[in-house]
Amino acid sequence: MIKKYLPTFLLLLAVSLVLGACGGTSNKDASEDKESESNQSSEGFEPYTVKHAMGETTIKEKPERVVILTNEGTEALLAMGVKPVGAVKSWTGDPWYDHIKGQMEGVEVVGDESNVNIEKILSLKPDLIIGNKMRQEDIYEKLSKIAPTVFSETLRGEWQTNFMTYAKALNMEDKGKQLIDEYNQRLSEFAEKAGDKLNQKVSVIRFMPDHVRIYHKDSFSGVILEQIGFKRPKSQNKNDFMEKATKERIPAMDGDILFYFTYETGDGAATELEKEWLNDPLFQNLDVVKEGDVHEVSDAIWNTAGGYIAANKMVDDLERIILNEKE
C-alpha cells in the first residue's frame, strides 16, 4: 500500500516545495517586501548635497512636495515642470500673476516674500523648501527644522544664477542648463534679427504709488536688455539697481525708445502718479515722446515676477515692438 501511493505523495511534496519557494515568505521576508513597496517611488534615488547662500543642505529623499518662497523661484519650478504644493503670493494678482495663474491651480499660498507663513508651510508637510537669503535669512533656521531648505543669495538682476540654484535643489541641473541654453539662444537670435536697432538707447522707468524709478543695468529688465546688446542712455548706463527720481530728473529718462510700467496695487495711487508725470511739460518735451516711441508694458513681466517665464514674455514684447513681429 505504501509503495502504491509513494509516487503520488512525492509528486505532491515536490509541488508544495516549488509553490512555497515561489510564493511563501517568512515574516522577515514579508516585512522586507512591504518596505520595498513603500520605497518604490524612491527606488534608485541617491541623496545629494546642494551648496547655497546659507551653506550646504543634503536632500535625502526625492523632492515631491516643494514649497517655494520667491516669485522668480515659482517661475523656475513651473518652467522645469514642477508644481509646488505651496508658494508665496504674487506681488500683484489674486493670488497669482495673470501669466502663471493657469499653472497654479491647487497651489496653497504661504504668505508673501517678505512675510512668510511658517505655520502654513508646516501644515503642507514639504520635503523641500526653497527661499532667498535677501528676503528670508532671519527664518532660515526655522524653515530648516521643517524640511531641507535651500536659499539663493539675492534678487533683482540675478534670476539666471538663482534659476540654476533652484535646479540643483530639485536635482534637475541638466534640465535647468537646457532651459537656460534655450533662452540664451533665443536672445542671440533676437540680436541677429535686430541688427542696427541694437544701437537704440533704451530707457526704462517705473511708476510706484509714492515715487518714480529710473531703472539701471542691475535690474530684471536691465540685465535682459544688456544681454541682448541694447545701449542705454548715459544716465542709466550704470551697474546698479535704480534711481528714485524727482521731476527735475525727467530729462534723464530720454532715449531713442522708452518703456514704462506701473506697479498698481489696487488703490489707484500709482496710476494717478503715472498720469501726472506723463502729462508733465518736462516729460512731454522729451525727444522720445516727440518721436512717439514711448511704450507701456506689464510691470509683472518687465519687473515684478522676475523669473524665467517673465523673461521670455519680455522678449515677446521686444519682438512685437522693436522687430514688429506678431505674437
Take residue 80 and report the three cell numbers written for it.
Answer: 522645469
R_g over Cα of the chain:
28
pTM of the model: 0.84
Q: What is residue 266's predicted lDDT score, i.e. its pLDDT? A: 86
Rounded to 5°, the CA angle 145-146-148 comes to 80
Q: What pLDDT score does 327 carry? A: 56
pLDDT of res. 43: 64
Strand partners, 49: 58
Cβ–Cβ under 8 Å, residues 270 and 207: yes
The DSSP symbol for 300 reads I
Name beta bridge partners: 204: 259
Give pLDDT tens digits along the chain (327 positions): 444 444 444 434 443 443 344 333 333 343 344 333 334 445 678 999 999 999 999 999 999 999 999 999 999 999 999 999 999 999 999 999 999 999 999 999 999 999 999 999 999 999 999 999 999 999 999 999 999 999 999 887 778 999 999 999 999 999 999 999 999 999 999 999 999 999 999 999 999 999 999 999 999 999 999 999 999 999 999 988 999 999 999 999 999 999 999 999 889 999 999 999 999 999 999 999 999 999 999 999 999 999 999 999 999 999 999 998 765
**What is the predicted pLDDT for the residue at 30?**
37
- 112: closest CA among 73, 80, 151, 161? 73
Quick check: helix, strand or coil at residue 322? coil
For residue 239, give the DSSP letter. Answer: S
Instruction: Look up residue 195 and give its three cell numbers.
Output: 541688427
Give backbone dihedrals phi and psi of 287, rounded to 5 degrees, phi first: -60, -40
pLDDT at 291: 96
Burial 265-295 (b: 16+ CB within 10 A, else e): eeeeebeebbeebeeeeebeebebeeeebbb
Q: Which pLDDT score is estimated for 42?
A: 53
Residue whose C-alpha is closest to residue 309's, from 103, 146, 49, 144: 103
